[in-house]
Amino acid sequence: MPITKGVLELMNETPLAAATTVPTSPGGDECSIVALKDVSQCSFELEAVFDGDGTANAIFHVRASTTGGTEATEWDTQDYDVATLACVPGSRAQMTLAVDPSPEYLTVLAENQDGVYTLTDVIVTRAIQQIEAL
């Protein structure tokens, strides 16, 4: 079986207002849904640019679903995984989060924990390794 690797930008949100989460609920159109059928490995590259006076982190919530629908009721109410991107005032921060591709579908919600300052260039990219049948 050949193995293919794919990289896809799922979210590009700028600005992300203070004390805001996007999408506001799982399945929202600000972040694409990742289908994990025949996927052997999955990771998310998470990044944001913090305001020069920013003091709070960006939190990325990974949610799972068996249907992958656009209604919040079709998604788990608890995080499947979560990552904290530490605030670096005036700078871009980035991290890679490897996740187990066991669920049928995943999506990511980005949360700006700063109550005063916006984040810019909030980007979520997924990388998968998929096994294809011959």
Question: Can you list the positions of beta strands (E) in 2-133?
Answer: 3-13, 21-22, 34-35, 39-50, 58-65, 81-85, 92-99, 105-112, 119-131
In order of start, what are the domains of the chain with their CATH numbers? 3-131 (2.60.120)
Q: What is the tens place of the pLDDT at every residue in 54-64?
A: 999 999 999 99
Residue of 11, 106, 20, 16 whose CA lies nearest to 68: 106
How does residue 24 score in pLDDT terms, banded at 50, 70 and 90?
very high
User: What DSSP character marks residue 33?
Assistant: P
Token reading at 40:
């052997």
Determine the Cα–Cα distance for residues 130 and 24; give it in Å rounded to an integer.
Answer: 29
Give burial (CB, 10 Å; 0-12/13-18/19+) of 6. exposed
How does residue 1 score in pLDDT terms, banded at 50, 70 and 90?
very low
Q: Are 25 and 110 within 8 A, CB to CB?
A: no
**pTM of the predicted model as reported, rounded to 2 decimal places:** 0.92
Determine the Cα–Cα distance for residues 104 and 111; give it in Å rounded to an integer.
Answer: 23
